[in-house]
Amino acid sequence: MASIGKLVGPGSGNDAAAGSHGVDEISDHDMLLFQQLFKRHIGLHLPLSKKALLQSRLSHRLHELGLRDLTQYFRRISGEHDVEERQRAIDLITTNETYFFREQGHFDFLKQELLPQWEQHKSLRVWSAACATGEEAYTLAMLLDQQRAAGSWSVLGSDISLRVLRFARRALYPMARGQNIPRPYLRRYCLLGTGEYEGHFLVQSDLRAKVEFAQRNLTALHEHDDGLYDLIFLRNVIIYFDSDTKLKVLRDVIARLRPGGYLVVGHSESLHGMELELLMHSPSIYRKPQ
């Protein structure tokens, strides 16, 4: 990899501070209120067992605001007078760390089976529907750039969290997240950090320019008309929805899949028993009938 000099700070896609910061422990009643709030706005199923996670992810923010307990914070974010703060809470709760070429089998399928069968002149649209800090979207872009003509493909990465989308656009990552990137891809698409950025790498600007990032709420896709996609990655996100929300999200996502297109979910996620307009190609890979 080439080297990078001074850039923006590395940041972190998952740097919510742990620790109570003197914040009172959340009660079961308040936990129920937060459950209802996150379910209503983003479809997130937050079980009672996640009380400690909720407290640890929000406690630093409460400390910054001078609040003693989550009851006060709930009052602040539950109405419509502080939507910006509610988005900040969503960012803190939904942030999860990932890495490049995660669940390698899906990318092997794309490289070895799917891309060769798609006609070169066809313009491909790919959607990373829960892209987090962008590793999945850039992985897809690397593969497409290797095997497709310039201008014949596009990648959209979307997430509910504005915080992780800012991180994705910056495209500066700890080296540990790129340990699965094949060496030829590292040389072509990544710049090695030096000095204060030692231990990080930056995705090349040419590749960054080919990936668009935008906020999308998977439970409210009707708010955006993004057209149809040939390939949608919806990995490791539906496990956070209850059964009704999961079915709604899947049906809405499939409605945005072109006939003959493919949907990829996480290896640990199952669509078994769900009435969906899909044919199983292999576990976690599905095709929409023509």
Domain ranges within the chain, ordered by starting residue: 28-94, 98-287
Q: Residue 232: its pLDDT value, please?
A: 99
Q: Residue 80: its pLDDT value, please?
A: 85
Catalytic residue among 91, 145, 159, 230, which? 159
Q: Is residue 180 annotated as involved in ligand binding?
A: no
Cβ-count burial of 185 within 10 angstroms (0-12 exposed, 13-18 middle, 19+ buried)?
A: buried
Class of domain 28-94: mainly alpha
* 159: annotated active-site residue: yes
The one-letter code for the residue type at 63 is H
| SS3 (DSSP) at 190 | strand
Residue 4's contacts (CB-CB under 8 Å, 6 or more residues apart) are: 191, 192, 193, 194, 197, 201, 202
Parallel, antiparallel, or unpaired: how do β-strands 285-287 and 124-128 relate? unpaired
Better-scored residue on pLDDT, 178 or 95: 178
Q: For residues 60 and 89, what is the distance between their CA atoms, to the nearest angstrom?
A: 11
Q: Is residue 217 annotated as involved in ligand binding?
A: yes
Catalytic residue among 57, 86, 208, 256, which? 57
Give the distance between the most distant pair of CA atoms in the chain: 60
Per-residue pLDDT of 183-240, as tens digits, reads 999 999 999 999 999 999 999 999 999 999 999 999 999 999 999 999 999 999 999 9
Q: Give strand ranges (E) for the chain.
A: 2-4, 124-128, 153-159, 172-174, 190-193, 200-203, 211-215, 229-234, 257-265, 279-282, 285-287
Q: Is residue 98 annotated as involved in ligand binding?
A: yes
Reported confidence tier of residue 151, pLDDT bands at 50, 70, 90: confident
pLDDT beyond 80 at 76: yes
For residues 120-148, give the mean pLDDT: 95
Q: Is residue 216 annotated as involved in ligand binding?
A: no
Q: In what order do the strands lie in the sheet with 172-174?
A: 2-4, 190-193, 200-203, 172-174
| SS3 (DSSP) at 94 | helix
Q: Is residue 94 annotated as involved in ligand binding?
A: no
Q: Homologous superfamily of 98-287 in CATH?
A: Vaccinia Virus protein VP39 (3.40.50.150)
Per-residue pLDDT of 10-53, as tens digits, reads 344 444 333 455 567 889 999 999 999 999 999 999 999 999 99
Q: What sign has the CA pseudo-torsion 182, 185, 187, 190? A: negative
For residues 99-109, give the mean pLDDT: 98
